[in-house]
Amino acid sequence: MELLARGSESYIYLDRERGLVVKDRVRRMYMEESLDSRLRKTRTTTEYNILRDLYGKLRVPRVFQRHEYSFEMEYIEGTNPQLDREMARFIGKSLRDLHELGIIHYDLSIYNILYNGDELYLIDFGLSFRSRKIEDIANDILVAISQALDYEDVVLESYGITDAVKNRIQDIRSRARYAGV
């Protein structure tokens, strides 16, 4: 298998014959071993389960075998799309769809979208979790906006933002200012 990509916490290997990739969470030497092991296992399980549940509902890679620190998924032969208005709309709509399904992505940007020349796929649910709390929803939107600054209005509009969520985003922003971050 060839190394396809190397993130800060995981390596992605490509198995061309089988048309799949393996996402392997690697040992982080700066972390205490048992804590690191526990986190790698729970992150792997959570990401695998969320992808499995989303498959058939939203366009995500299909998952196959799961191991302790790794899992196999469908290889999407594609690249990260350019950020433009259309992509900002896709990001907004994707967030809304995820939130309707009770999933917080927590790292949605063009770097976690793959375009195969035909369709757009959402990937990297490594920080994702299940929640329907307005605070988590607002933070998820803030994460996406912070990666698409020029298109904040487009993301919010295509999301179909409600006043309640908009107000919560304002709250979080003013809390951050007050805390000086």
Member of 50, 51, 63, 76 binding ligand ADP (CB under 6 A): 76
Determine the 3-state secondary structure of 23 from DSSP.
Answer: strand
Place of tokens 């309707």: 100
User: Residue 24 interacts with Mg ion (CB under 5 A)?
Assistant: no
Q: Residue 124 in contact with residue 156, Cβ under 8 Å?
A: no
Tell the smallest beta-carbon distance from residue 71 to ligand ADP (Å): 10
User: Residue 3 interacts with ligand ADP (CB under 6 A)?
Assistant: no
79: Cβ contacts below 8 Å, ≥ 6 apart: 114, 115
Determine the 3-state secondary structure of 130 from DSSP.
Answer: strand
Q: Residue 11 in contact with residue 5, Cβ under 8 Å?
A: yes
107 is catalytic: yes
Closest CA to 47 of 79, 82, 12, 18: 12
For residue 79, what is the DSSP state? Answer: B
Residue 76 binds which entry of Mg ion, ligand ADP, none, CB below 5-8 Å type-dependent: ligand ADP
| Site string (120-159) toward ligand ADP, x via CB under 6 A | ---xx-x---------------------------------
Tell the smallest beta-carbon distance from residue 124 to Mg ion (Å): 4
Member of 9, 86, 97, 136 binding ligand ADP (CB under 6 A): 9
Which residues are at the interface with ligand ADP (CB under 6 A)? 4-5, 7, 9-10, 12, 21, 23, 61, 73-76, 111-112, 114, 123-124, 126
